[in-house]
Amino acid sequence: MDAVDSFISTPIREKDKAFMMPIEDVFSIKGRGTVVTGRVERGTVKVGEEVEIIGLQEVTQKSVVTGIEMFHKQLEIGEAGDNAGILLRGIEREAVTRGMVLAKPRVSRRTPTSRARCTC
């Protein structure tokens, strides 16, 4: 293993940047709420913090993190590099889909879009 370690560097975890996690899967836990799963790309998130769900909809949804779990272990903090499930308060399962992003509030904004036609 030492030989492998000498050739492969440890990835840098961007813990000092604003929290962002692309959503890979969504499911409901009866009596608890909606859980989104994915790999935390950057930053950290704590139980009790407010987050936004961005993308694929005109309106940004806001929620509060009520739980974080990684490999069947409850955590207080999720950080860059973690594959985690994050339990969200007041979010319906149908309102979230794969491809959306969970982020710190007011960090990311939707970019206005327009249509163009190219005639070549």
Mean pLDDT (whole number) for 43-58:
92
- 83 contacts: CB under 8 Å, gap ≥ 6: 37, 38, 39, 40, 70, 71
pLDDT tens per residue across span 67-112: 999 999 999 999 999 999 999 999 999 999 999 999 999 765 555 5
pLDDT tens per residue across span 2-37: 888 788 877 778 888 999 999 999 999 888 899 999
pLDDT of residue 66: 96
Categorise residue 66: left if φ over 0, alpha if ψ from -120 to 50, beta otherwise.
alpha
Q: C-alpha dihedral over 77, 47, 75, 96, to 10 degrees?
A: -100
Q: Where are the domains of the chain?
A: 19-94
HSE (side-chain half, CA atoms, 13 Å) at 67: 16
Token pair, residue 63, equals 């929620």
pLDDT band at 113 (very low <50, low <70, confident <90, very high): low
pLDDT of residue 107: 65
CATH number of 19-94: 2.40.30.10
